[in-house]
Amino acid sequence: MNKTIIELKNVSKSFAGKKIIDQLSLEIKERDSLMIIGPGGRGKTVLMKIMALIIPPDSGDIFYYGQNIKDLSKKEKEDVQNSTGMLFQNYALFDSMTIRENVGFFLDYHTKTPRKEIAERVSHNLKQVRLEGVEGLKPAQLSGGMKKRVGIARAINYKPDILFLDEPTAGLDPITTDSISKMINRLHQDLPVTFISVTNDMGCARKIGDKLAMLYEGRIYKIGPKEEILESDDAVIHQFVNGKRQGPIRYHEKI
Ligand SMILES: Nc1ncnc2c1ncn2[C@@H]1O[C@H](COP(=O)(O)OP(=O)(O)O)[C@@H](O)[C@H]1O
Ligand SMILES: [Mg+2]
């Protein structure tokens, strides 16, 4: 049994009086590739940022390797943060920088790694995401799929133990979604890294990861092996997985 790497206990977060995350508990095991699904605008990005220690929760506890984050010194907390990498939903690449500068950003600005070594590491990471020869280009010269790959190359550049992927295929066509998903699964096989992804796209959720969790009404409603969740006859899961308008999940959109 793999050990627990991250644990959230009764975590809550509100914005403007509205509870987005509500007494949520979740355990992530080492080497998991967990995909969290849920309707848009209901807290997936917020949950991911709470797990990555980017947004503090209003209440509840977060444990990394069994240690409560609240008990860590500033330096220890920074070490934990530096052991994670993130692909942001909207890429968050620097438009004025080259791909080499974007991917090597952390090592350039936060370590004394020699430039030559950074350049080699950047090219290696780009190869890992199946991109080559783009080091001198700017983000605007790349397609959406290529920018996702660059975002992932940057996230793995400083060898994280945990990789967070926020909507790794959002805005991509089905063929690009397929190839990015395969690349992500291969990366998970090749690297000693725990993957945590979120998406509202079932096409993406079916392809990436081996465990599936559903975020619903601010909590982890269900979590388990992917096949088990996909085949669940629970009304909430069934509605979302199969894209039905009728069911317990309330949408504001009119048809
Ligand atoms: N920094 C913030 N300030 C105020 N409201 C926020 C902030 N971040 C997220 N929210 C709100 O929290 C809700 C969930 O957002 P988010 O996690 O981005 O949803 P999604 O599930 O689409 O990723 C949304 O209603 C959003 O408006
Ligand atoms: Mg989001």
Calculate mean pLDDT across residues 99-121: 93
Q: Is residue 202 part of a domain?
A: yes
Among 12, 13, 14, 15, residue to substitute to test ligand 1 (most atoms within 8 Å of Cβ): 15
Q: Kindly state the DSSP code that residue 42 receives in the 8-state scheme.
A: S
pLDDT exceeds cutoff 60 at 181 = yes
The CATH number linked to 230 is 3.40.50.300
Q: Is residue 127 part of a domain?
A: no
Which atom from ligand 1 is nearest to the alpha carbon of 166? 23
How far is the centre of ligand 1, averaged over its atoms, from the C-alpha of 196 (Å)? 18
CA distances from 164 to 78, 179, 223 (A): 17, 19, 17
Q: Is residue 137 part of a domain?
A: no
Distance CA 87, CA 93 (A): 10
Nearest residue by C-alpha to atom 27 in ligand 1: 41
Residue type, 165: L
Number of structural domains in the chain? 1
* pLDDT value, residue 17: 93
Domain boundaries, position 219:
4-83+160-241
Q: What is the pLDDT of residues 25-73, one digit of tens each?
A: 999 999 999 999 999 889 999 999 999 999 999 999 999 999 999 999 9
* pLDDT value, residue 253: 63
Q: Is residue 252 part of a domain?
A: no
Q: Is residue 146 part of a domain?
A: no
Q: Is residue 172 part of a domain?
A: yes
The pTM for the full model equals 0.94
The pLDDT confidence band at residue 254, using thresholds 50, 70 and 90, is low
Query: 124: closest CA among 165, 153, 161, 82?
Result: 153
Q: Is residue 102 part of a domain?
A: no
